[in-house]
Amino acid sequence: MKNSRALWSNSLRPLLGKALLVSSIVMGLSACGAAKNEMPDSGKTAEEENTATAEYLTRDIRDDIFYFVMPDRFHNGNPDNDQGDPTRPISYGGFDNTSKWAFNGGDMRGVEAKLDYIQDMGVTAIWMTPLLRNKAVQSDGFGHHGYWVIDFTEIDPHFGTNEDLRSLIDAAHERGIKVFFDIITNHTADVIKYKECHNEDGTFISGKPGCKYKSKADVAAGDTYTPFILDQEKGVKVPQWLNDPKYYNNQGDSFWQGESAVHGDFVGLDDLDTANPEVVSGMTEIFKNIITEFKPDGFRIDTVKHVDLSFWQSFGPAIVAHAKSSGIPNFHIFGEVYDGNPAVLSKFTTAGKLPSVLDFSFHFNVKDALFHNKDVNRIGQLFDNDDYYRDADSSPDLLMNFLGNHDAGRVGLFINQGFADASKAEKLQRSVLGHAFMYMSRGIPVVYYGDEQGFTGDGGDVDARENMDPSFVAEYNDNLLIGTSRTTADDNFDQKHPIYQSLKNFAKVRSEHQALRTGIHQNRLIDNKNRIVAFSRIDKQEMREYLAIFNMDTETRKVALNVDSLSYSSVLGNNAKVNQGSLTTTIEPLSFVLLKADQVHKGSEIFDVKMSEKYTDNERVFLPVNLSFGSQQALQVADVSFYAVDESGAETFLSNDDTSPYRAVLLPEQLEGVTQLKVIVKDSSENEMSKTFKL
Write phi, then psi, for 419 (nearest 5 degrees). Answer: -140, 60
Per the annotation, the verdict on 233 as an active-site residue is no
Residue 421 half-sphere exposure toward CB, CA atoms < 13 A: 0
Q: Return the closest-CA partner of residue 21 out of 385, 393, 483.
A: 483
Strand ranges across the sheet with 557-562: 557-562, 582-587, 577-579
Task: List, as one string, the DSSP characters of 391-446.
Answer: SSS--GGGSEEES-BTTTB-HHHHHHHH-TT--HHHHHHHHHHHHHHHHHSSSEEE
The backbone torsions φ and ψ at residue 483, rounded to the nearest 5 degrees and listed phi first, read 85, 10
What is the rounded distance in angstroms from the CA atom of residue 551 to the CA atom of residue 424? 19
Contact 143, 84 (CB under 8 A): no
Q: Cα-flanking dihedrals φ and ψ of residue 603, to 5°?
A: 100, 160
Q: Quick one: which of 236, 310, 300 has its CA closest to 70?
A: 300
Which position among 82, 302, 494, 553 bears the catalytic label?
302
DSSP letter at 62? G
- Number of C-alpha atoms within 13 angstroms, CB side, residue 334? 25
Q: 435 — phi, psi (to 5°)? A: -65, -40
336 annotated active-site? yes
| CA–CA dist 335, 338 (Å, integer) | 9
Query: Where do the H-state alpha helices sit in 309-367?
Result: 309-325, 342-347, 360-366
Q: Which of 64, 336, 387, 397 is catalytic?
A: 336
Q: Chain centroid to CA 527: how far?
A: 27
Give Cβ neighbours of residue 203 (< 8 Å, ≥ 6 apart): 139
By annotation, the residues acting in catalysis are 302, 336
